[in-house]
Amino acid sequence: MAKVHAEAQKEQILNAAARLFIEKGFGGASMQEIAEALGMTRTAVYYYFKNKDEILTALVEEVTLRARRLSSRATSEANTDPKEWLRTLVHQHTMLILSHHNEFRVVDRTEQQLPERAYRANEEAKRAVLSNFTAAIEAGVKVGVFRVVDAKVTAFTMIGMCSWPAFWYKPDGPKSAEEIADTIAELAVQSVIRPARRQLKSAGDVSEALALLREDLDHLSLMIEKQPKSG
């Protein structure tokens, strides 16, 4: 029971610190102000965190390490359908951001001020998330489910779609976090998916891909023939 209470107390400190860091900046908020926001003594806050750097590191790890674990798990459990793989990545990343929107905003604003440990954790997590998003998109392109796109640029764009709601989301707003995540996941998948009739029925089927190419060439020939002749 004592451990549960300690974890709850630390969570309250982190939440109060995140709000103050957003309002006043990391440098502008003091340990005293964090304590006052919670109705605690400064000594009580020091019991859990010895300084602001420790608080900031904990805030960063709360978001970044969880993002890394979630995206890696989705990738390891990915089935043969790239659409569902990508949908899961986008949905869960958006939900993580929305459920920790204050922490994410703090990370975004203080990236260049992060203590070494937190900075390394943040950079490694971002690389892992990008790699997992990129892998899902590449898989979809390879089997002909997704359009041929630059997978890395597309992954960066989708991660941005997941992250931006942290700056406008309101828990008491008209849309729930789940509804927002559903919408963003659907938009992400639809932005890369090929029309159903252009998707390969069998992944990696060269003859089917050639048939689609011949269809395109036949269409192109008809278009050329219909062009008015000059002179």
Between residues 128 and 200, which one has the greater pLDDT? 128
CA distance 185 to 182: 5
Q: What is the DSSP letter of 111?
A: G
pLDDT digits (tens, 9 = 90+) for 75-124: 888 777 899 999 999 999 999 999 888 888 888 888 887 888 888 888 99
Tell me the residue type at 28: G
Q: Which of 3-17, 58-72, 83-97, 200-214 has maximum average pLDDT?
A: 83-97
Q: What is the DSSP letter of 167?
A: G
Q: Check residue 203 and give its pLDDT.
A: 57
Region 131-142: what's the mean pLDDT?
Answer: 93
Q: In whole numbers, what is the pLDDT of the chain averaged over residues?
A: 84
List, in sequence order, the alpha helices (H) in 25-81: 31-38, 42-48, 52-76
User: Which band of pLDDT confidence, cut at 50, 70 and 90, is reported for residue 158?
Assistant: very high
